[in-house]
């Protein structure tokens, strides 16, 4: 397939940059060189001097195929297969999804990572016996999808943002519970929103800092008073899954919420395997049916492959902030 669109997702930046701080990047001939903090070097021992392909998802046109897939030649397809930041990719015909005529190639390029992650969060909530969700960095593309999903499915959702304009964006989408972590009454507002929704499960894209612990504290505070005192807190299980690393600092858990809680990592591919083939098929079908509505992605700019390592361009999309999602069109360099 000729690749014609591939989004730049945070997961791609993790491969592209690792622990390199974008602000340290500088041109060195044809290369772009950055600095890995010394404290992070042990974590990246197996990464050093190893070239890795980048690009988790993308879309394009099939330009050649074996006899059993010849009908796909000339058709536009999307694929979740890695190595999509390329001009051409050889992929398994069974792995591609043929795009409907009304879905553009750019729209089809982002039909896997964020949509399936958002849907898997809802499926995980149901599978683990929770009834509502808390989501951080909630104004992201993924967060906006989650707002639409939860509104359509009647699921309580508490959205945590860090700026007033992000809160307005989500409320304009129809979000009911939006809490700004930069405000002095954040803890009280978070507790009240959790009390109203009954959320006992959170997905945290931040990773570092104290936010995961603050969410667990609010979940505990939101529970009804104990009928008889125990130093171990309520028996309501509270779970935070960390699925991102917008903050690379240590995760700080200030334990003020009893002993019925868990914090763990969350990876969409692992979650899909755990949820099973039937659930994964149901999610993929929904994504395709709602590609132009629930799962629509917006891009700040479309760039070519050569532009990715331009320092001034990389500095923008590497911020991973709201409104800076970029789309790569490799065909613009061909």
Q: Dump pLDDT digits (tens) for 167-216.
A: 999 999 999 999 999 999 999 999 999 999 999 999 999 999 999 999 99
d(CA 234, CA 62) in angstroms, rounded, equals 56
Q: What is the pLDDT confidence band of residue 252, given thresholds at 50, 70 and 90?
A: very high
pLDDT score, position 17: 87
d(CA 239, CA 217) in angstroms, rounded, equals 11
State the chain's mean pLDDT as an integer: 94
By the 8 A CB rule, do 89 and 305 touch? no
Cross-sheet strand order for the sheet of 132-135: 177-180, 156-161, 132-135, 201-204, 238-242, 261-265
> What topology does CATH give the domain 113-273?
Rossmann fold (3.40.50)
2-110+298-333 and 113-273, same CATH topology: no
**Percent above pLDDT 90 for the chain:** 77
d(CA 261, CA 255) in angstroms, rounded, equals 10
Better-scored residue on pLDDT, 320 or 291? 291
pLDDT score, position 38: 85
Domain 2-110+298-333 sits in CATH at 3.90.180.10
Q: State whether residue 324 is helix, strand or coil.
A: coil
Nearest to 208 by CA among 181, 244, 256: 244
Q: What is the pLDDT confidence band of residue 315, given thresholds at 50, 70 and 90?
A: confident
Token look-up 């309580």 returns 156
pLDDT score, position 160: 99
Instruction: Write b or e for each residue in 9-45: b if 16 or more Cβ atoms lie within 10 A of its Cβ, otherwise e.
Output: bbbbbebbbebbebeebeeeeeeeebebeeeeeeeee
Q: What is the pLDDT confidence band of residue 18, given thresholds at 50, 70 and 90?
A: confident
pLDDT above 90: residue 314:
no
pLDDT score, position 102: 94
pLDDT score, position 248: 82
pLDDT above 80: residue 321:
no
pLDDT above 80: residue 323:
no
Strands (E), 266-307: 301-303
Within its chain, how far is the Cα of 212 from the centroid? 17
Domain boundaries of the chain, sorted by first residue: 2-110+298-333, 113-273
pTM: 0.91
pLDDT score, position 320: 74
Model confidence pLDDT, tens digit, residues 69-78 = 999 999 999 9
DSSP letter, residue 235: S
Model confidence pLDDT, tens digit, residues 106-152 = 999 999 999 999 999 999 999 999 999 999 999 999 999 999 999 99
pLDDT score, position 279: 94
Model confidence pLDDT, tens digit, residues 260-309 = 999 999 999 999 999 999 999 999 999 999 999 999 998 989 999 999 98
d(CA 181, CA 286) in angstroms, rounded, equals 32
For the chain, the distance separating the N- and C-terminal CA atoms, rounded to the nearest angstrom, is 14
């Amino acid at each position: 397939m000729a690749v014609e669109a591939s989004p730049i997702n945070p997961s791609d930046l993790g491969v592209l940059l690792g622990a390199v701080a974008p602000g340290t990047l500088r041109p060195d001939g044809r290369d772009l060189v950055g600095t890995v903090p010394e404290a992070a070097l042990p974590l990246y021992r197996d990464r050093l001097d190893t070239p890795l392909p980048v690009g988790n998802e993308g879309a394009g046109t099939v330009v050649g195929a074996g006899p059993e897939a010849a009908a796909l030649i000339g058709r536009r397809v999307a694929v979740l297969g890695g190595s999509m930041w390329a001009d051409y990719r050889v992929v398994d015909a069974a792995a591609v999804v043929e795009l409907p005529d009304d879905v553009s190639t750019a729209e089809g390029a982002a039909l896997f990572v964020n949509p399936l992650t958002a849907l898997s969060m809802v499926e995980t909530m149901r599978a683990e016996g929770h009834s509502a969700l808390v989501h951080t960095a909630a104004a992201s593309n993924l967060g906006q999808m989650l707002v639409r999903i939860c509104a359509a499915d009647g699921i309580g959702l508490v959205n945590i943002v860090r700026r007033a304009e992000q809160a307005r964006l989500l409320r304009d989408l129809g979000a009911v519970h939006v809490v700004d972590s930069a405000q002095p009454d954040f803890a009280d507002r978070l507790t009240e929103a959790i009390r109203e929704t009954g959320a006992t499960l959170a997905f945290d894209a931040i990773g570092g800092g104290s936010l995961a612990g603050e969410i667990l504290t609010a979940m505990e505070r939101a529970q009804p008073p104990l009928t008889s005192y125990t130093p171990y807190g309520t028996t309501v299980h509270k779970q935070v899954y960390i699925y991102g690393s917008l903050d690379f600092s240590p995760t700080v858990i200030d334990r003020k919420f009893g002993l019925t809680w868990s914090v763990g990592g969350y990876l969409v591919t692992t979650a899909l395997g755990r949820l099973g083939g039937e659930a994964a098929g149901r999610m993929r079908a929904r994504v395709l049916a709602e590609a132009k509505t629930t799962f629509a992605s917006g891009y700040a700019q479309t760039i070519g492959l050569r532009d990715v390592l331009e320092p001034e361009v990389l500095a923008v999309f590497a911020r991973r902030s709201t409104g800076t999602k970029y789309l790569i069109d490799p065909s613009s360099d061909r």
